[in-house]
Structure 1
Amino acid sequence: MRPARHTRRARTWPAAAGIALLAGSLAACGGDAEDTASTSNDGPASVASGNLATALKPLNAYPVPTEKLDKAGSIAGKTIFYVPITKQAPQFTTTEKTLAAAVKAAGLRLQVCDGKGTPTEIGGCIGQATDAKAAAIIADAIPYGLAANGFDAAQKAGIPVVISNQVPDPAHPASKTLTWIPVPGTEQQTRIFDWIAADAKGKANILVNQSSDGPSPAAYVTGGEAALKKSCPDCKLTVNKVTSSNFALVPSSTSAALLKDPSINYVDAQFEQYLQPTQGGVQQTSRTDIKVVTGSASLGGLKALKSGSLAAATAQAAAFQGWVDTDAALRLIVGQPVPEYNIPTRLFTKDNIGDVKLTEEAELSGEWFGPATYTDDFKKLWGVA
């Protein structure tokens, strides 16, 4: 993992360029499976095997920015709002807890409002933050278009917005009141596909339960599929669209896709929030030969991996992200340029899970991904160490 670059520059996001945010992106899409067979002849499965050694290891150090925060004392006592798209996702619980610690360390307060996966609730949360004259709003995994009026109104009122866990929207570029914290969703997807390609020795039929909550999840799968075509040209990928607004459809749509194509032997729950209903769908088929994997894993997912009910998992450093999101918000508040950030990821399998401390304290410290000294590094940048 290379250190983050510390000067913001224009970015291009080709994977997402052609993905439109539909008004019904959070509507139930269970059972909408799409076959996308890999046809490339470029690259053997050994490509995937060669990538796994690095993916399995933690970092030597977290990529903390180097630019100090100016005028930090002038914002003490103010309130930052955190709005996750839904608190059903375990990852957001970790980020929320570390956000609270980071915001407190900087001398501010944190207010949390659950978006509950619906445009109405998300818009209400952003409106609440604007009415409360928040110092900043941190929106987690919320597409700009899903709450455009609210985001526009907040910025017009002088409230800066940080949007995390989303592919940046070209129609709403970074500005003095808006910044994007991109996350390695494609990297996670690529790593799990690399593992499948190696585990299956180059011949796998994969079903991925892809979130339809906005354009970013589809972009991650598209990026992962491009890598899969190189590492596993004989692998086949089927996409089943699921959504956080209707978990009840996930088991039935999963089982329907498996019954439609009995050759599927790997099932990928794109995010851990879909893992339990995905496993329920597999169980409905009474098949025991299917290996289940997941992305954005938290403590629960890694415990499932340790117990053997999960074959592999990827995760991103959600604890570190809480401090990154806070750093970005503070810099917007004081009118300082926001650096580029790099959120680490890691692949977990039976080969390394035995070395991972599976406790909430370890998860919140960020030690799964590297040395947990980054909190002191951020405090020094903010002048509060």
Structure 2
Amino acid sequence: MSPARPVIRRRARTWVAAGSIALLAGSLAACGGDSEKTGSVGGSTSPADDKLATAMKLLDSYPVPTEKLGGVDSVAGKTIFYIPITKQAPQFTTTEKTVTAAAEAVGMRVQVCDGKGTPTDIGGCIGQATDAKAAAIVADAIPYGLAGNGLEAAQKAGIPVVISNQVPDPAHPASKTLTWVPVPGGEQQVRLFDWIVSDSKGKANILVNQSSDGPSPASYVADGKAALSKSCPDCKLTVNKVTSSNFALIPSSTSAALLKNPAINYVDSQFEQYLQPTQGGVQQASRTDIKVVTGSISLGGMKAVKSGSLAAATAQAAAFQGWVNTDAALRLILGKPVPEYSIPTRLFTKDNIGDVDLTEEAELSGEWFGPETFTDDFKKLWGVA
């Protein structure tokens, strides 16, 4: 299906100077849990507090690559297949729309196929792209091992593949037909835990609903746990594994974990697609005292932070990533080197959400993270401005 073209208006704004920030997200997840003591701060303040202010600020500018790309006129009329692991994740809707806007800037089309969180559907989408002789495939949050045969077949057919939102797989390094656009998901988890340490004054007992699809989500939580063990030796962390392929189990597994450990006072829904069933589990356990946080939020999650039903959240610059994914695809199509990319994220709480324009237009423009000029910057790189 072809998504509707986004209308992105630009408005003049005064941008707050800020340091660089990078946090973020990944893919999907089963049930079960393991609990262990990790690490706190010895008083009412924490070293994490010094990082929070930076993580909450706007960027001075987006990290747009500098390597110009010629010859894009040759791709006009061709098609990029955008395949998110599941469209249940709201962030992928934003990326889908901006991949489409970026592709249209060079005269290309975008075909979207929902992976639905299952190997069968993901494989079917990749097969469809191969049969259609797509110019490129952008696989969002899809672990290579989950669709290895299809990805290999596509590349053998001369179709380059961009894998976004995943930790690069060392068994499948970047090549002339494959590139990775990783995101610092571990930093997202670290920042959420930093906020929890500060808010709890070093006395947090955390339940994290961690995605179990592929290696990336577990890697992100491991990074967060390592940082937590240093900043908060008195904090505790329980991991409950969840999956987008069976949302029906998430409320009951969350409730069971909370009933098993009544000392839990914070719940982290790793990605926003798990937020609603996670909050359902908190309600089933009748725990009105728990603060809930999440990562990879979109407009709905931002509004939840504004209303107070969500205590803190990180959001990925999904609009910017749409243009990055298209840039990577164009470079592979044209046989050019692919630069290293950095995808910004930002921490949102009641302290900074009031300054955010909570509209779809603002989300698509990228203004939640920094200046809206990055789209023009990419067009200049491609010679179509």
TM-score normalized by the length of structure 1: 0.92
What is the CA distance between 1:39 and its match in structure 2? 4.4
CA displacement at 1:76 relative to structure 2 = 1.1
Deviates most, 367-376 or 71-80:
71-80
Contact 1:56/1:347 (8 A) holds in 2: yes
Deviations 1:290-333, CA, capped at 9 Å, x for gaps: 00000001000010111111100001100000000000000000
Distance of 1:236 and 1:74 partners within structure 2: 56
Separation in structure 2 between the aligned mates of residue 346 and residue 176 of structure 1, nearest angstrom: 32
**Matched residue type, 2:35:** D
- Paired with 2:94 and 2:296, the residues of 1 have a C-alpha distance of 11
Matching residue of 2:232: 232
How far did 1:42 drift? 9.8
Residue 325 of structure 2 corresponds to which residue in structure 1? Answer: 325
CA contact (8 A) 2:40 2:231 kept: no
- Taking the aligned partners of 2:301 and 2:222, their CA distance within structure 1 comes to 24
After superposition, residues 127-166 of structure 1 pair within 5 angstroms as 127-166=127-166
| TM-score, normalised by the number of residues in structure 2 | 0.92
Summarize the alignment of residues 176-195 of structure 1 with structure 2, pairs less than 5 Å apart: 176-195=176-195
After the TM superposition, list the runs of 4 or more consecutive aligned residues in structure 1 that deviate by more than 3 angstroms: 1-4, 39-45
CA contact (8 A) 2:43 2:201 kept: no
| Residue aligning to 1:376 | 376
Matches within 5 A, 1:103-122: 103-122=103-122
Structure-2 residue corresponding to 1:201 = 201
1:36 Cα deviation (Å)? 2.5
User: Counterparts of 2:42 and 2:132 in 1: how far apart (Å)?
Assistant: 55
Residue by residue over 1:179-214, the C-alpha shift from the partner in whole angstroms, topping out at 9 and shown as x without a partner, is 000012111111100000000001100000000111
Q: Which stretch of the first structure deviates more once superposed, 243-252 or 66-75?
A: 66-75
1:90 aligns with 2:90: yes
Give yes or no for contact 1:43–1:233 (8 Å, CA) kept in 2.
Answer: no
Distance 2:255 2:20 in 1: 40
Using the TM superposition, name which of 37-46 and 234-243 deviates more. 37-46
**Structure 1 residues 39 and 52, CA gap change in structure 2 (3 angstroms):** closer
The alignment status of 1:124 with 2:151, answered yes or no, reads no
What are the superposed Cα offsets for residues 190-248 of structure 1, whole Å, 9 maximum, x if unpaired?
A: 11000000000011000000001111000000011111112212111100000010000
Q: CA deviation at 1:106?
A: 1.5
Deviation of 1:41 after TM superposition, in Å, equals 8.2
Matching residue's letter, 1:352: N
Q: RMSD over aligned Cα, in angstroms?
A: 1.7
Change (3 A) 1:306 1:44: closer
8 A Cα contact 2:210 2:270, kept in partner:
yes
Aligned residues with identical type, % of pairs: 81
Within 5 A, what are the aligned runs for 1:1-385? 2=20, 29-30=30-31, 32-39=32-39, 46-385=46-385
Structure 1 CA distance for aligned equivalents of residues 373 and 83 of structure 2:
27
SS in 2 for 1:245: helix
Which segment drifts farther, 268-277 or 228-237? 228-237
1:44 Cα deviation after fit: 8.8
> Is the partner of 2:245 in helix, strand or coil?
coil
CA distance in 2: counterparts of 1:81 and 1:54, whole angstroms: 36
User: Could you tell me how far apart the structure 1 residues matched to 2:187 and 2:239 are?
Assistant: 18
| Structure 2 gap ranges (5+) | 1-18
What amino acid sits opposite 2:149 in the alignment? N
Q: Secondary structure at the match of 2:147?
A: helix
SS at match of 1:179: strand
- What amino acid does structure 1 have at the position aligned with 2:147? A
Deviates more, 1:42-51 or 1:107-116: 42-51
- Cα distance, 1:53 vs structure 2: 0.7
| Aligned amino acid, residue 377 of structure 2 | D
3-state DSSP of counterpart to 2:47 = helix
SS in 2 for 1:46: coil
> 1:3 & 1:346 partners in 2: Cα distance?
7
Once residues 336 and 262 of structure 2 are traced to their aligned partners in structure 1, the CA distance between those partners, rounded to angstroms, is: 55
Q: Unpaired runs of 5+ in structure 1?
A: 5-24
- Report how many aligned residue pairs link the two structures: 363
Q: 1:63 is paired with a residue of what secondary structure?
A: coil
Q: Which amino acid aligns with 1:183?
A: V
User: In structure 1, what is the Cα distance between the partners aligned to 2:91 and 2:233?
Assistant: 32
